[in-house]
Amino acid sequence: MTLPSTYADRNCSLARALEIVGERWTLLIIRDAFFGVRRFGDFATQLKIPRAVLTNRLKFLVQEGVLVREDDATRGVEYRLTAKGVGLWPIVRALMSWGDTFYSPAGVQRAERHDRDGGLLDHGGRCEDCGLVVPVPEIRIEPGPGFDPTSSAHDPVSNAINTPRRLLEPIEAGRTLPVDEG
Ligand SMILES: [Zn+2]
């Protein structure tokens, strides 16, 4: 079941897509999921989003099949992007790139590289070294010249996000890993 449409044109796929990702916070939650955030508390810390709003957004994204909610005995509850959710990366990339162009005079805030060969990715996600359009799990994201560490938070989740890392790789910062006591 979907929310009632607030857009006039039901024959427009952009309007349909905006019903899923157009609400405030939603694309930021999705961006963080690409950066490896999986736990409710980590989304809340990183985004400083009201918890009730976060609960609603996560529930809706699970309902729409963008995220899957997994409840593991040792790891607790985690939210991960589905294939449908991973399909949103070109949109997140395009909006970040547009933001860099018009609002980041010092340059890109986050650069994308091909993890295997270190090649920079162009706006279409193509590696400048090997020429491949790089699949999401092979993309490494790292602070670019426009990134200002002094205006960034320094909690463990933010620190992990601001260190070069592959997309979708889970952030373990601050997590108490189960101890194998043999
Ligand atoms: Zn490459």
28 and 56 inside one domain: yes
Task: Kindly give the distance from the C-alpha atom of residue 93 to the centroid of ligand 1, in angstroms, as a whole number.
Answer: 17
Task: Kindly give the distance from the C-alpha atom of residue 51 to the centroid of ligand 1, in angstroms, as a whole number.
Answer: 39
Give the DSSP letter string of the chain.
--PPP-SS-TT-HHHHHHHHH-STTHHHHHHHHHTT--SHHHHHHHHT--HHHHHHHHHHHHHTTSEEEEEETTTEEEEEE-HHHHTTHHHHHHHHHHHHHHH-TT--SEEEEETTT-PBB-TTSBBTTT--B--GGGEEEEE-TT--GGGS--SHHHHHHTS-EETTPPP-TT--PPP---
Number of domains in the chain: 2
Range of the domain at 149: 89-166
Task: Kindly give the distance from the C-alpha atom of residue 127 to the centroid of ligand 1, in angstroms, as a whole number.
Answer: 5
Task: Kindly give the distance from the C-alpha atom of residue 113 to the centroid of ligand 1, in angstroms, as a whole number.
Answer: 8
In this structure, is residue 171 part of a structural domain? no
The CATH number of the domain holding residue 45 is 1.10.10.10
Task: Kindly give the distance from the C-alpha atom of residue 116 to the centroid of ligand 1, in angstroms, as a whole number.
Answer: 6
Task: Kindly give the distance from the C-alpha atom of residue 134 to the centroid of ligand 1, in angstroms, as a whole number.
Answer: 7
pLDDT tens sequence across 50-91? 999 999 999 999 999 999 999 988 889 999 999 999 999 999
72 and 136 inside one domain: no
pLDDT tens sequence across 100-154? 999 999 999 999 999 999 999 998 999 999 999 999 999 999 999 999 888 888 8
34 and 93 inside one domain: no
Give residue 118's pLDDT: 97
